[in-house]
Structure 1
């Protein structure tokens, strides 16, 4: 039906396009030019990925080198020894001090909206207003007492938690500790937070004053402490201690107990054992467990957080604690106890996830196992 190749060849000249069987036309290219990619964005993405992979490998190598040097200097750290608790204390200091300072702008907006719900219509408006009126420095109002206060609190909280977890485990025995491990986590974290808040409270009092006074009349952390002591005595630094305990102890109990439980559930769901996963995967699990635990923490502790802000900002000189609580509650009502909850969920979720990731990364850096993911009996050896 169709003409053969020989007929076509004999009909048309050798230079005719139809007579170029089996040959593909070659496109001429000017000498010295390079071939262009049909989709340049793909090559850019691939190049970026390769650079990111190279950077990650180099960062991992530097981390391992520094870790080996640190471990060589400190020597092998055995669990549940003074050296172990010291390492956990430093890890907690870094985890809490750095993360709380990083989210100071969110904390500033939260505190101002808790004290005066009519001040800003939204969190975005709050940020823009503060940035326009007070500059970038104004957005970080209160970073000083935040850094010092939460560094001290984190040191006592994480170091104390590890200490009390072992202490209570020894009291009840390994078998009972494994059976009642959630109760053990709750008790150990509550004990640690009780002490940690005594270190935090003076700095928290100064922070709230700095953040809720517009414009701030306190310019530095220790000047603020001196001003409070000169006007109200040392007791002025601790007038928010009871509501701080009311906020932080439930928060920390939820933070540690839920984190340990969630991490254990994650490893039980994943194939293999915790030890089968590399350092990066374990810190990823720590962040995920910490973020989920942080959401629960924010909900549990938020009413007390609102009351702490109100008491530090509005409590009258000489006013009894119970009377101040009653007066403030009449002013804001039950709904007022939940002002600022959405922004606090974002803040605390991110904060808690990063804290556990930093804390476990430091433990890995010092040659220690990460937190959670194994039976209590094995952890207490």
Structure 2
């Protein structure tokens, strides 16, 4: 299905309000120009899911010093039209930044969590896990796997947020204005699930290397030597052995993440903020994004934790199956092992992601995500 750009959209206004962009929120020019290059044309191209994926994937292959078509201009250079090609590219860049940087930032917590999941008899507590890793491997041991984490989740984040915006718009158009507003939660769930299916294909190989590096000391130092070793021992299919469990972990996680975030933002503006969203300062809007993101992160951690345990177990053990993992761990451990640490990690990480993502959108002149429909005043 080809999605052509239109300046008037069938998507309901509750999904996005451009009033925020018109209320004076603007972006400084110089810093953004240092990070991105101006796109080559004012007219955004027709977009499909496959062409958007090519834009995301192609960004990683762009030679240094060459302007990438994946980049977006700043708001001061050109107005970004909602739901245009530039809009989706901006969302993808925002997703790449928010997921890649935050996951890399919590690498020490992730290292301890993975080891607690794989070897609970050795890593019995959170504090003990940190102490033991530092004692055996030094402080550097807490940062094992940071490169595949950064790259893998950057790819995943670009696809997750870019495709979420694309599918949310597409499904809203398919439903029509009235049904899209009536079944908005269904659209959030369907859009995020569709985006995550694509995003996890990009993440899977990096995640396999990350877990092996973090839980098998001496296996490899990082991505550059870890991926060839993993391919040599398990074959190329070994990189994607955890794809189904990864879908099992990430799809419910992302559905909960986006639907809970959107619903929480809407509830905050409806019940806790005394003025319309368009009258709320940009800093307050970003604070609301972080708060709603943290709440969504706690829910995400709980619902996706069993699959997270399975992903860690399967990537640790070469020939293990899902059934063997469940039998060996037991149902109680499957749902609870490492959960408190993951709630802390995912809550903070998800809150920070939405804060960074919406900060980037504001930075390029776009409105923050979500809010309440502001009904037109009757004459």
TM-score (norm 1): 0.78
Which one of 127, 135, 139 corresponds to residue 136 of structure 1?
139
Q: Which residue of 2 aligns with 1:234?
A: 236
Larger Rg: 1
Q: Do the aligned partners of 1:149 and 1:200 also contact (CA within 8 Å) in 2?
A: yes
Structure 1 pair 81/217, CA: closer, same or farther in 2 (3 Å)?
A: same
1:211-230 to structure 2, matched below 5 A, reads 211-213=214-216, 215-230=217-232
Superimposed CA distance per residue, residues 319-376 of structure 1 (whole angstroms, 9 cap, x where no aligned partner): 6xxxx11112111111111200000000000000000000000000000000011349
Structure 1 pair 376/342, CA: closer, same or farther in 2 (3 Å)?
A: farther
**Residues 1:307 and 2:340 are matched in the alignment:** no
Give the ranges of 4+ consecutive aligned residues of structure 1 lying more than 3 Å apart after TM superposition.
61-70, 375-378
* RMSD after superposition: 2.0
The CA deviation at 1:134 is 1.3
The CA deviation at 1:65 is 5.3
Distance 2:301 2:98 in 1: 18
The DSSP-based 3-state class of the residue aligned with 2:337 is coil
Structure 1 pair 229/315, CA: closer, same or farther in 2 (3 Å)?
A: closer
The DSSP-based 3-state class of the residue aligned with 1:200 is helix
1:291-306 to structure 2, matched below 5 A, reads 291-306=294-309
The CA deviation at 1:232 is 2.2
- Structure 1: state its 5+ residue gaps: 1-60
The DSSP-based 3-state class of the residue aligned with 1:370 is coil
Distance 2:147 2:218 in 1: 13
Q: Which residue of 2 aligns with 1:126?
A: 129
**Residues 1:330 and 2:333 are matched in the alignment:** no
Q: Which residue of 2 aligns with 1:353?
A: 351
Q: Do the aligned partners of 1:111 and 1:208 also contact (CA within 8 Å) in 2?
A: yes
The CA deviation at 1:71 is 2.4
1:1-381 to structure 2, matched below 5 A, reads 64=28, 66=30, 71=74, 74-213=77-216, 215-269=217-271, 270-316=273-319, 324-337=321-334, 338-375=336-373
Distance 2:352 2:375 in 1: 27
Structure 1 pair 292/116, CA: closer, same or farther in 2 (3 Å)?
A: same
The CA deviation at 1:219 is 1.3
Q: Do the aligned partners of 2:204 and 2:240 also contact (CA within 8 Å) in 1?
A: yes
Distance 2:142 2:374 in 1: 43
Distance 2:84 2:265 in 1: 24
The CA deviation at 1:277 is 0.7
Distance 2:274 2:307 in 1: 40
The CA deviation at 1:154 is 0.2
Q: Which residue of 2 aligns with 1:27?
A: none
Which deviates further from its counterpart, 341-350 or 121-130?
Answer: 121-130
- Larger RCO: Structure 1 or Structure 2 (Cα < 8 Å, ≥ 6 residues apart)? 2
The CA deviation at 1:315 is 3.9
Report the number of matched residues.
311
The CA deviation at 1:230 is 2.4
The DSSP-based 3-state class of the residue aligned with 1:71 is coil
Q: Do the aligned partners of 1:178 and 1:377 also contact (CA within 8 Å) in 2?
A: no
